[in-house]
Amino acid sequence: MEIRSILVPVSGTEADSEAMVFACRLAKKDKARIVAVYVIPIQRSLPLDAELETEVEKGERVLEQMEKVATGQGYAIETDLLQAREEGPAIVDEAREHDIDLILMGTPYQRQFGQFSLGQTIVYVLKNAPCRVMIYHHYPPPEEDTP
């Protein structure tokens, strides 16, 4: 499978850096381009173009960190900061717009109602992506709380 382009959605979790390293390693074989995207979710009560300065600053910091990680791997990446109502549809739209071959999503260990959960965004992307999707699960999971 030839990969020409990889989209790496990032959110500021510990899984982001590991996913970016993995994306760089995959991309090197075919000299694929990598696009890192940070999505700022906008509440429905606000206009889509609302200026959320703290969120924009956080997104820029996360994307700068991803550029450093990629540079450390000997790779240059593109970055994009988006504002959207929901992250999943924004990621899928970005994949379509950039003609992406692979979406590589990093995820930390999450629990919902006491069970491991991938979360809504990953499930949405898996169902609707116009390309292949890989999930990079951050390991190890946190230690269980002991009474």
Helices 53-72 and 15-30 pack at an angle, to 10 degrees, of: 50
Chain-centre distance for alpha carbon 78? 13
Place of tokens 């959605």: 9
Q: What confidence score (pLDDT) does residue 110 get?
A: 61
Q: What confidence score (pLDDT) does residue 116 get?
A: 63
Strand spans (E) along 31-107: 33-41, 78-84, 102-107
85 lies in some domain:
no
41 lies in some domain:
yes
Domain range for 36 is 1-79+100-109+135-140
Total domain count, the chain: 1
Task: Record the tokens describing residue 110, joined without a space.
Answer: 């999450």
Smallest Cα–Cα separation from 27: which of 9, 2, 45? 2
CATH of the domain at 30: 3.40.50.620
Size (the chain), residues: 147
Q: What confidence score (pLDDT) does residue 13 get?
A: 87
Spatial CB neighbours of 78, under 8 Å, sequence gap ≥ 6: 33, 34, 35, 36
Helices 120-128 and 87-97 pack at an angle, to 10 degrees, of: 30
95 lies in some domain:
no
Spatial CB neighbours of 46, under 8 Å, sequence gap ≥ 6: none
Q: What confidence score (pLDDT) does residue 104 get?
A: 97
84 lies in some domain:
no
129 lies in some domain:
no
45 lies in some domain:
yes
68 lies in some domain:
yes
pLDDT in tens, 70-104: 999 999 999 999 999 999 999 999 999 999 999 99
Chain-centre distance for alpha carbon 87? 10
74 lies in some domain:
yes
pLDDT in tens, 12-60: 988 899 999 999 999 998 999 999 999 999 988 887 777 888 999 999 9
Burial, 2: exposed, middle or buried (Cβ in 10 Å; 0-12, 13-18, 19+)? exposed
